Amino acid sequence: MVFYCASCKKEFVNISSLHAHEEICIYYNYHKKHNSYISNELINEIAFMLNAFELHKIEKHNESLDKRKLMKSIATKYKINHNSMYILLYGMLLEYDDNIKYSEILQIISFMVKVSINDILNVVSAYIDCYSTISNYIT
């Protein structure tokens, strides 16, 4: 018997593997908690940007981030993975002051993927839940 994740369609040979997967599947966690429907492709794009800006490391949503550190991090990621999205994000950061607010980063992401900030925050919430679960497995 084969089991499938309802959100990402990944196959599993037993139910316990499926349940373990569901704890870390961003698609499953997002769709389980939120009524608005964002496609898995948009969730991928949002998660890509969350990783680029390292938003999973931010504990307080009102804190400011050092633009230079963000730009350096994005430049490093571009050297590893030549995805043109990094260049676009890097370019957008040039328009901001030395410190960039969390809300401004959300506005950048919203502009790039054409999704409301509330929907992005819902994806952030699912992302953080998955990231926390993965971190707990590792430690």
pLDDT, tens digit, 9 for 90 and up, residues 90-104: 888 988 888 888 889
Is 4 part of any domain? no
Confidence of residue 139 (pLDDT cuts 50, 70, 90): low
Q: Give me 122's structure tokens.
A: 């819902």
> Residue 135: CB partners within 8 Å, gap ≥ 6?
none
Is 14 part of any domain? no
When divided into structural domains, the chain yields a total of: 1
Stretch 73-84: mean pLDDT: 87
Is 72 part of any domain? yes
Stretch 80-92: mean pLDDT: 87
Is 80 part of any domain? yes
pTM for this structure?
0.80
CA 60 vs CA 52, 57, 64, 98, 101: distances in Å: 18, 9, 9, 19, 11
Is 114 part of any domain? yes
C-alpha span between 108 and 1 (Å, rounded) = 44
Stretch 39-66: mean pLDDT: 82
pLDDT recorded at residue 37: 78
Confidence of residue 43 (pLDDT cuts 50, 70, 90): very high
pLDDT recorded at residue 42: 93
Is 92 part of any domain? yes
Domain around 92: 38-138
Is 127 part of any domain? yes
Is 8 part of any domain? no
pLDDT recorded at residue 137: 65
